A = this chain, B = another copy of it.
Amino acid sequence: MNKFLQISQRGIEMPESPIRKLAPLAYKAENRGVKIYRLNIGQPDLPTPQKALDVLKNIDRNTLEYSPSQGYCSLRQALVGYYERYQIKLKADEIIITSGGSEAVLFAFMSCLNPGDEIIIPEPAYANYMSFAISAGAVIKTVTTTIEEGFCLPKVEKFEELINDRTKAILICNPNNPTGYLYTQKEMNQIRDLVKKYNLYLFSDEVYREFIYTGSPYISAMHLDGIQENVLLIDSVSKRYSECGIRIGALITKNELIRRTVMKFCQARLSPPLLGQLVAEASIEGTEQYAREVYDEYVERRKCLVDGVNRIAGCYTPMPMGAFYTVAKLPVDDAERFCAWCLSEFSYKDDKTPDGCVGETVMMAPAAGFYSGSKLGKDQVRLAYVLKKEDLQRALFILEKALKKYKESVCVWHQ
C-alpha cells in the first residue's frame, strides 16, 4: 500500500529557485568567515520610505483584523492616482490587491488557464513564472532572445511558429527581469497585434516601471489599443519602495469576468496582508523625492556594474535599459559550476578585506535557470546592482580574481 504516500507530479516538476539554490553553499561560506558580495538577489539595500515606516510606529489599531479580500479600498484608490501618473486610467474596482506580485501571477494563471494550456514567454525569463505555470498545470513555451542581440524581442514569426490551439496567453516582463530590456513601441505594437489576431491573454509584469534609464518611453500593456479585455497587469510595490518583505502586489484588469474569477481565489485565501497594505498606501503619495533619490542611485550603480563587467577580459553584458539586473556572459563553460566554486572553494584576501573575515567572494545567479532549454545561457549569470557602489566595485574586482584563479586551477575554458 506504500504506493499512496507519494508527492505530487507537479511537486517533482517544480524547479528549485535558481536564485536561491546556491544558498546552502553561501551559508557554509559565511560560517567559515568568508564575506559574500551578493550580486544574485533583487533585494534592494535602500531604505523603505520613512513615512511608510512611520505608519507602523504610529499604528493605532487594537486588533489586527482581516482586510477585505480585494484589499483596502483606500489603498486601491491611492493606486488609481499612482497609475494616472503613467497615463494608465483605472477605477479602484479594477485593482485587486495580492500577496506580492507572486500571488498576482498565480491567480492570473489559475483564473485564465486550464491544465495543458500554453503561455508564450520570451526567455531568459524570471524563473518563478515556471513555478506558477506548473502550479496551474499550464505549459510555458519560450521564444529565445539572445545576448548578442541585446535581448530584443524576436520577430513575430517566432511567436507564430509556437501558436496552436492550446496557446492561450503571452507573458512579458517589462522592463525585464533578468535582462533589463525595455520593449520599444514597435515591439509592444507587435505583441498587441498578436494578442488581437489570436485573441490571447496578455500577462504583463511591470513591477520595474520606476527604473528606466534610457529616456525611452515606458509602454505599458495598458496603453495598447483594442486589447483591454485581454490584458492582466501584474504589479508590486516591493521594488519601487524597497519593501519586498511586506508582500503587497496587485492584479489589474479591465476584464470584469476575470476579476470576478480572480476574486474567488482571493476569497479562499481570505485577505492580503493588513500591515503591508498600510505601509504600501503610505508609500505611494508624497514620496517623489524618495523616488528621485532611489532612481539616481540606481543610475550610478548600473553604470558602475555594467562598465565594470565589460572591463573584465572575456566578460560581456549589454547595457540594461531598465530594472536593476543585467545578464552577463562569463569566460567559463558552466556558470553554475563556477558560481558554486566561488562559494565553496574560492575566497580572496588582501589589505582591503574587512577585519575578521578570512576572505571575500561573490554570489551570482547562474542564468541557465532563466532559460527553458538545458544548453542556453550556460555561460551566463544574472547580476543585480542593488549593492552600494563601493561594494559593487569590490565585488567586480573579486570576480576578476576568481575568474583568473578558476582558469588556472579548475576548469576548461572557452576557446
Apart from A63-B243, A246-B274, what are 13 other A-B pairs with CB-CB below 8 Å? Answer: A4-B168, A7-B112, A7-B257, A8-B110, A10-B110, A12-B261, A17-B268, A56-B56, A57-B58, A64-B245, A131-B265, A247-B273, A275-B279
Q: Using known A-B contacts A14-B268, A245-B66, determine if residue A135 contacts B115 with beta carbons closer than 8 Å.
A: no
Cβ of A114 within 8 Å of any chain B Cβ, yes or no, is: yes
Q: Report yes or no: A8 in contact with B245, Cβ–Cβ below 8 A.
A: no
A5: B residues at CB distance < 8 A? 199-201, 229-230
Give the segment of A95-103, A340-348, A353-361 that binds chain B: A95-103
A132: B residues at CB distance < 8 A? 268
Q: Report yes or no: A199 in contact with B2, Cβ–Cβ below 8 A.
A: yes
Give the segment of A45-53, A331-339, A375-383 that binds chain B: A45-53
Which A1-20 residues sit within 8 Å CB-CB of chain B? 1-5, 7-12, 14-17, 20
Cβ of A150 within 8 Å of any chain B Cβ, yes or no, is: no
The CA-CA distance from A113 to B8 in the complex, in Å, is: 5
Cβ of A69 within 8 Å of any chain B Cβ, yes or no, is: yes
The total of chain A residues at the interface (CB under 8 A) is 86
Q: Using known A-B contacts A11-B110, A56-B56, A269-B106, determine if residue A64 contacts B99 with beta carbons closer than 8 Å.
A: no
Which A41-76 residues sit within 8 Å CB-CB of chain B? 41, 43-48, 52-53, 56-59, 61-67, 69
Q: A residues bordering B, Cβ < 8 Å?
A: 1-5, 7-12, 14-17, 20, 41, 43-48, 52-53, 56-59, 61-67, 69, 99-100, 102-103, 106, 110-115, 117, 128, 131-132, 135-137, 167-168, 197-201, 229-230, 242-247, 257-258, 261, 264-265, 267-276, 279
A58: B residues at CB distance < 8 A? 57
Q: Report yes or no: A44 in contact with B56, Cβ–Cβ below 8 A.
A: no
Q: Report yes or no: B264 in contact with A131, Cβ–Cβ below 8 A.
A: yes
A246: B residues at CB distance < 8 A? 64, 273-275
A48: B residues at CB distance < 8 A? 61-64
Determine the residue in chain B with the shortest Cβ distance to A127. B268
A15: B residues at CB distance < 8 A? 264
Q: Report yes or no: B114 in contact with A8, Cβ–Cβ below 8 A.
A: yes
Q: List 13 A-B contacts (CB under 8 A).
A: A4-B200, A7-B261, A8-B261, A9-B114, A20-B267, A43-B66, A56-B59, A64-B242, A64-B246, A100-B270, A128-B269, A245-B274, A273-B276
